[in-house]
Amino acid sequence: MQKCPYCDFNSFTLQETLPEQRYRAALRADIAHQAPALAGRPVQSVFLGGGTPSLFSPEAIAQVLADLSQALPLAAGAEVTMEANPATVERGRFAEYRAAGINRVSLGAQSFDPAILKLLGRIHVPADVYRSAEELHAAGLTNFNLDLMFALPTQDRAGALADLREALKLEPAHLSHYQLTLEPGTVFAARPPAQIPDQDLAWDMQEDCQALLADQGFEQYEVSAFARPGRQCRHNLNYWRFGDYLGIGAGAHGKLTGPDAGRIERTIHQREPRRYQADAVASLTRRTVEPEALPFEFALNAFRLREGFDLQTYEERTGLPAGELLPRLLRLAERGLLETHEGRWRASPRGFAFLNDVVSSFLDGEKSQAGAGA
């Protein structure tokens, strides 16, 4: 296995046989340690992501989900997503993953151009994606996401649209469509590939593709997320709505609201899997988010959604009075970056195009973790 040169997720190259049972034991200890903080609240979604969780056998996935359900109640119809690499899923495995409890899959296609896939360091070829999508449909896992990038090295507008058309042929329920970015600490950041489209060309690609997605019945409900009606990713919606979640596993991040209104705690695990396995409980560190950082933390997530937020939700999720936020909202509205709709504040079309400017206006010298799955 190898790590993609653009990837900043917590993933490591595989140099040995995957120690499923040892890692599962660490996950079990981690779940048991953190579950009491939720006080029996039902789990609405599970997201198995970061790296390649499909390297785990269906049996191991079933065991992890059983450990979780023993520690916390799983809500009826809970969304259980697993990320999968098209090159590493064995034939017939998707039916087994469904039997293990997976009901949603996120498949990393990225592109359908073999030359571009090679430039990206991907180990799969387009045929792997076609085969995986066929098997997903055959297994009854029709609620699946495809990750697709644009503004890729050597790509032009026609190429970006061709990739999207190929993706749509596979009938996904959800598409994560995002621009290639050179994330700090990655190989591409240190040695950028040649012929990356400039921002003007990238914007043209984005507009072309968004028009095609709308024409095909996909709603853009988040900056880079598009879904068929009723197929939005519930796990990510909870994240962007500033909900709570447990971070289980090496490098996992979590967020929990304490019993005191406004007391929000961020958790993070040791990134290196061997160290995490050695002591999953000691691996966890906790940080309380200072009240002055909460407006930025909330805005960083909520404004990614087309729906925006209402002031009552802001108060409930942060414990802060909405009146203190209102002057900033009004200033952004005067600049044409925000608008109100049915009592909710949201980014205007112009604000959605300049979302970094919107979010940075809530930054008071504090920076925070951000990210989600698909």
Q: How far, in Å, CA of 276 to CA of 61, rounded? A: 18
Mean pLDDT of 172-176: 98
Q: How far, in Å, CA of 345 to CA of 308, rounded? A: 5
Mean pLDDT of 75-97: 93
DSSP labels, 63-99: HHHHHHHHHSPEEEEEEEEEEE-TTTPPTTHHHHHHH
Residue 374 pLDDT > 70: no
Residue 369: the pLDDT is 40
Residue 285: the pLDDT is 96
Residue 6: the pLDDT is 44
Mean pLDDT of 64-90: 94
Mean pLDDT of 88-108: 94
CA nearest neighbour of 72 among 104, 33, 20, 105: 33
DSSP code of 226? E
Return the number of other C-beta atoms located less than 10 Å from residue 341's C-beta. 11
Residue 368: the pLDDT is 38
Residue 185: the pLDDT is 61
Tell which wins on pLDDT, 3 or 279.
279
In the chain, where are the structural domains located? 20-232, 292-363
pLDDT in tens, 17-28: 557 889 999 999
Q: How far, in Å, CA of 211 to CA of 35, rounded? A: 43
Residue 11: the pLDDT is 53
CA nearest neighbour of 210 among 226, 197, 199: 226
Secondary structure of 264-289 as H, E, C letters? EEEEECCCCHHHHHHCCCCCCEEEEE
Residue 308: the pLDDT is 97
Residue 240: the pLDDT is 96
Exposure string for 27-36, b = 16+ CB within 10 A, e = fewer:
bbbbbebbbe
Residue 373 pLDDT > 60: no
SS3 content of the chain, % helix, strand, coil (to 5): 40, 20, 40
Residue 91: the pLDDT is 85
CA nearest neighbour of 236 among 248, 251, 221, 214: 221
Listed in sequence order, the DSSP H helices in 171-257 are 187-190, 199-215, 234-240
Residue 26: the pLDDT is 95
Give yes or no for a contact between 213 and 206, defined as CB atoms under 8 angstroms apart: no
Residue 233 pLDDT > 50: yes
Residue 8 pLDDT > 60: no
CATH 2.20.25.650, applies to 292-363: no
Beta-sheet strands, E only, within the chain: 43-48, 74-84, 104-110, 144-150, 174-179, 219-222, 225-227, 253-257, 264-268, 285-289, 338-341, 344-347
Residue 53: the pLDDT is 82
- Between helix 58-71 and helix 93-100 the angle, nearest 10°, is 10
Task: State the chain's mean pLDDT as an integer.
Answer: 90
Residue 303: the pLDDT is 97
Distance of CA 16 to the CA centre of its chain: 27
pLDDT bucket at 55, cuts 50 / 70 / 90 = confident
Q: How far, in Å, CA of 327 to CA of 312, rounded? A: 16
pLDDT bucket at 366, cuts 50 / 70 / 90 = very low
Residue 123: the pLDDT is 87
The CATH number corresponding to 20-232 among 3.20.20.70, 3.10.310.30, 1.20.1280.290, 2.40.50.100 equals 3.20.20.70
